[in-house]
Structure 1
Amino acid sequence: MKKKAIIYAENTDRLLTLVNYLVQDDWEIISSGDTAEFLSKNLIPYTMEPSLSSVTKGHDRFTSLINLVINSKSEETYDSYTSLDYEDAASLLCVNIQPKYHSIARFLEESSSENCIDLKHVSLIRAAAKNYSNVLILTDPEDYEEAIIQLKTESISKQFRLYLAGKALNLTSAYDASCAYSILFQREQIDFPNYLIFPYKKEKRLAQGANNHQQAWLYSQGLHNSALAGIKKIQGKEVDYNLIKNYFAAWNIVSMFLKIIKNPFEVPSTDSSGYSYSTQFTPAAGFVFTIGIKYGNPIGAALGTDVCNSFTKTLNCAPETFDGATLGCSAVIDRDAALLLSKMTLDSIIAPDFTKEAREILAKTNSLRLIVASNTVSGFYETATIDGGLLAQISDHTLFKHWNVVTTRRPTQAQIDAMAFGTMISLGAKSDSAIIINDSAAIGISFGQPNRRKAVLLAVEDAKECFKNGLTSSDTSAEILVSDTSIPFDDKIRNAVEIGVKAIIQTGGSSSDQQLIDYCNENDIAMVFTGMRHIAF
């Protein structure tokens, strides 16, 4: 009797090598659908079994296929209604399917719901995995070569069979996870599911991990509208673990600018007299936003009237720190910006696109990576792995919920907009952080400080350096101090006032809040308490 192999492959990579060997070794190939067409085009003989590809028809025939796999090596006979001669069993199953996402509307339509959840192929794979001692189950083209070697030598090891069964179950769990994700994460009220399973697929081996002695891979969830799906490297060396983290740290803040700061929004507010009103923010629709990132933290950021102006203001924040940094920009990189950037020793630039002239200029710096990003960041969850578990939380994309203006003086409109701009930047900085804003640029940034006072001090010192070197605007009418935590009253605040700070936004909650409020009132400084922390580390 001929040995039987059931083959249904959505991914036909290396499949021809496998089936050619099977034909030469006198196997009978059972197939259907697109895979059968592939075999026909390559002149590979096969037995047609329509139930392999039909979603709604041939359930009885397909049951026989399942039995063929489950009962491999048994002497059980099979029903006569199938066109196949099943006196012996299938000892090889090559089935690979791709996890798929569907709109929730498709699941709600009776006519298409069966197409959304694969029953047949998942069942075949599970059946083969259950009977792995007798059925060689291939779901990954990477394993075809080793399978051929072990088949030729007739010495298929139990370890190899078990390994392939594990990969098969890994695939079916990913497929099930994609269906569950499509249903649970498109509901109006998204909640934390009992099992947090996302179908991440191994996409690319990275040049290195965080350090050169660490291996690393990039896994993709396969969502077409995700930021990762919209990223393409068009120039430069291979990327590594740290670079990808920097790309997304930069693009996450750029995405917030595009989705929040560029559009009109408001926040409920209360002034020092208890009067309630709504604070309106001016849309930054006519501006270009740029941010510099190093080791996942912002080292400079600015709004400009055009790309070149925005880059210049960003680089002026701390010129000496941009060596090997990543720049993120909200607009297409043009010729003038490229000429400026070509003089820098940047590691990478991520932007919506690059003009032809810009690409030609930057191509002279072969090591510089140019990344085109077409989708904004829209992640709902943030996760962090721990030994034996996973932490999950809602992503922090909310700038404010309420403003409490605690000083007699209210902030001006320019200061209001600068406060929103600075808070957006602070969302990308590790806590505790403090930022000094001048002329829509972050001229002083401090992050990752365990001491709140030191965070303010270092930001002020950075700002002083900018003023000393003439790198920022002399117009200090909108000088802002932004803190992601409460600010204790001490000499550090006096230092901030000395460099021109006229408005402060912080969480509030320090034991010396009233002292700071009194000091601000005495010095005509506006201060806002948000009551809302943005902790990140």
Structure 2
Amino acid sequence: MATLPIRRALLSVSDKTGLVEFARTLAAQGAEILSTGGTAKALRDAGIPVKELSDHTGFPEILDGRVKTLVPGVHGGLLFRRDLPEHVAQVEQHGIAPIDLVCVNLYPFEATVARGASYEDCVENIDIGGPAMIRSAAKNHAHVAVLTEPEQLLEVAKEIAETGGTSLATRKTLAAAAYARTAAYDAAISRWFAQELAQDFPQRLSIPGLLKQTLRYGENPHQQAAFYVDGTHRPGIATAEQVQGKELSYNNLNDTDAAYEAVAEFEEPAIVIVKHANPCGVATAAELNAAWDAALRCDPVSAFGGIIAANRPLTAEAAERITAIFTEVVIAPDADEAARAIFAKKKNLRLLLTGGLPDPGAPGTTFRSVAGGFLAQSRDAGRVAVADLKVVTKRQPTTQEMQDLIFAFRVCKHVKSNAIVYAKGGATVGIGAGQMSRVDSARIAAWKSAEAAKAAGLDTPLAQGSVVASDAFFPFADGLQAAAAAGATAVIQPGGSMRDNEVIAAADEAGLAMVMTGMRHFRH
């Protein structure tokens, strides 16, 4: 189909970015511009001729503006097929003029919800007329162009100026974007209603997503990938400003998210080092420098080329330490100018600053695709405190052991199952992740502890005198016995095994203190 000229356009936007320039292009082509409210005022103030929509349709705005575009003069002008004589006859009979282009962006419902507005304000920001016009124009894209995003205006204006109208290919692309926009808008409204009604898993679930970045590839070069944001504004990779560095990859984003969610678990200054979505070093301290030193000591080999997360603004001293090894990504709430200058010397290092930390206890939903669908579950926001723990052995943990047990169990929550974490003095000293057997995870963590000690020039494995955390119960005593052999003195685990009594007896025999949480932290 040939390029179609724009003889009449309807413009009604809340985001007026690029509006005046776009309207000038239309006016230069001789198009009549219909508008209303703030959009009409903005155009008149810019000296662009505008016809009030109510004057065009002959129907006034009613119900406080709730009804102004839901009239035959608008939707008849959008939906009629110019190639069907019977349609042409009908619109002529009823005095309906064609509308060749619609530019609409919707009431800011998502932003209204994000700022914590009242129920009534959220309802009033549910757009009805806008989605109706968008869908009408998109359905009839053979004859009508529909613009729904401010960034579309420049390209479409350029095409209109150069060709005198819009091509079918452009209108198809715009129509696809229009339906995607209304689908995401409806999904956001649906999600809000479900939250208001405390429906964790409604009968129908739609997930809104806005493309933030097309990625070079996925986990592997033969896979395609993209990064979408869902509008929840959870601080982290979705809110981060990339200050410097190469383009982020799929694996970078996945690992960085894992690191930042983990570091947010701690109230004290903390550093988390992640490799392949697993922490390989975690530490808390009175200040970031000490936390970095302790986190790196746990596994300096795996830390090479890793992801670093901090839960405090980065200083020059922390930046000097971090840049002393090869690092892919650093993420933190902020960084001072001196720290930024140090990072800038490593031009490929990606520095992400988020402006805040995610709340580890906040509700939310996580998703995983499966064949033919996806799994949805509430985010693992579970945490345990000393008061939640049940001591099941003859020996009680010491105060320091209890502090380390809580720390180790928080780390365990972010390690792939089966997970074993040795910790001492607020730092990990051995991590075993992702093994099919829990006893293997305990042995691997102990081996890594011994290797880290050698790297630090120490004669004694780091796990000597540590505590150990298990993300799930010990099905047999062998895992606990492996931890005792590694030098652990206290154990934290969920409990609930048929053989709990055997495990408790083994702990008593080894002189260990053991507490049970009643909470499991599987992570697959």
Scaled by the length of structure 1, the TM-score of the pair is 0.82
- 1:172-222 Cα shifts (integer Å, max 9, x gaps): 1222222233333245x4521222223211122234432334333221223
**Alpha-carbon distance change, 479 to 170 in structure 1, aligned in 2, over 3 angstroms:** same
Is the CA contact 1:72–1:135 (under 8 Å) kept in the aligned structure 2?
no
Counterpart residue number, 2:194 = 184
User: Which of 370, 373, 382 is the aligned partner of 1:386?
Assistant: 370
SS in 2 for 1:5: strand
Counterpart residue number, 1:171 = 181
SS in 2 for 1:409: coil
Matched, 1:318 2:299: yes
Tell me the C-alpha RMSD between the 2 structures.
3.4
Is the CA contact 1:439–1:475 (under 8 Å) kept in the aligned structure 2?
no
Counterpart residue number, 1:215 = 224
User: Separation in 2 of the partners of 1:167 and 1:2?
Assistant: 20
User: Separation in 2 of the partners of 1:488 and 1:56?
Assistant: 66
Equivalent runs, 1:283-432 vs 2, <5 Å = 287-377=268-358, 378=362, 380-400=364-384, 402-432=388-418
User: Separation in 2 of the partners of 1:459 and 1:21?
Assistant: 66
Counterpart residue number, 2:67 = 59
- 1:450-489 Cα shifts (integer Å, max 9, x gaps): 1111111101111222334447899989621111123254
**Alpha-carbon distance change, 41 to 218 in structure 1, aligned in 2, over 3 angstroms:** farther
Counterpart residue number, 1:487 = 474
Counterpart residue number, 1:524 = 511
Matched, 1:252 2:261: yes
Is the CA contact 2:145–2:166 (under 8 Å) kept in the aligned structure 1?
no
- The residue identity in structure 1 corresponding to 2:26 is L
Displacement of 1:10: 3.8
Counterpart residue number, 1:268 = none
Displacement of 1:129: 3.0
Is the CA contact 1:351–1:372 (under 8 Å) kept in the aligned structure 2?
yes
**Alpha-carbon distance change, 198 to 216 in structure 1, aligned in 2, over 3 angstroms:** same
Equivalent runs, 1:494-505 vs 2, <5 Å = 494-505=481-492
User: Separation in 2 of the partners of 1:510 and 1:206?
Assistant: 44
> What count of residue pairs does the alignment treat as equivalent?
500
What is the identity percentage for the equivalent residue pairs of Structure 1 and Structure 2? 27
User: Which of 441, 444, 457 is the aligned partner of 2:430?
Assistant: 444
Equivalent runs, 1:18-167 vs 2, <5 Å = 18-40=22-44, 43-49=47-53, 56-57=64-65, 59=67, 62-63=70-71, 64-71=73-80, 73=82, 74-76=88-90, 87-97=96-106, 100-101=109-110, 102-103=112-113, 108-109=119-120, 112=121, 115-140=124-149, 141-142=151-152, 145=155, 149=159, 152=163, 156-157=167-168, 161-167=171-177
Displacement of 1:329: 1.2
User: Separation in 1 of the partners of 2:61 and 2:337?
Assistant: 46
**Alpha-carbon distance change, 12 to 206 in structure 1, aligned in 2, over 3 angstroms:** farther
SS in 2 for 1:65: helix
- The residue identity in structure 2 corresponding to 1:411 is P
**Alpha-carbon distance change, 488 to 505 in structure 1, aligned in 2, over 3 angstroms:** same
- The residue identity in structure 1 corresponding to 2:180 is N
- The residue identity in structure 2 corresponding to 1:521 is D
Is the CA contact 2:235–2:354 (under 8 Å) kept in the aligned structure 1?
no
**Alpha-carbon distance change, 57 to 10 in structure 1, aligned in 2, over 3 angstroms:** closer
Q: Flag structure 1 segments of 5+ consecutive residues without an equivalent.
A: 81-85, 263-286
Displacement of 1:518: 1.8
- 1:379-430 Cα shifts (integer Å, max 9, x gaps): 5101112233121001112034953422111222222221111111111111
User: Separation in 1 of the partners of 2:314 and 2:166?
Assistant: 58
- The residue identity in structure 2 corresponding to 1:482 is A
Displacement of 1:442: 0.8
User: Separation in 2 of the partners of 1:16 and 1:366?
Assistant: 39
Is the CA contact 1:415–1:478 (under 8 Å) kept in the aligned structure 2?
no
User: Separation in 2 of the partners of 1:366 and 1:132?
Assistant: 46
Displacement of 1:148: 6.8
User: Separation in 1 of the partners of 2:431 and 2:29?
Assistant: 68
User: Separation in 2 of the partners of 1:114 and 1:506?
Assistant: 46
User: Separation in 1 of the partners of 2:221 and 2:258?
Assistant: 21
- The residue identity in structure 1 corresponding to 2:487 is G
User: Separation in 1 of the partners of 2:323 and 2:60?
Assistant: 56
Displacement of 1:301: 0.5
- 1:2-49 Cα shifts (integer Å, max 9, x gaps): 832112234455656654443343221212344334534554433232
Counterpart residue number, 1:235 = 244
- The residue identity in structure 1 corresponding to 2:105 is N
Counterpart residue number, 2:213 = 204
**Alpha-carbon distance change, 489 to 359 in structure 1, aligned in 2, over 3 angstroms:** same
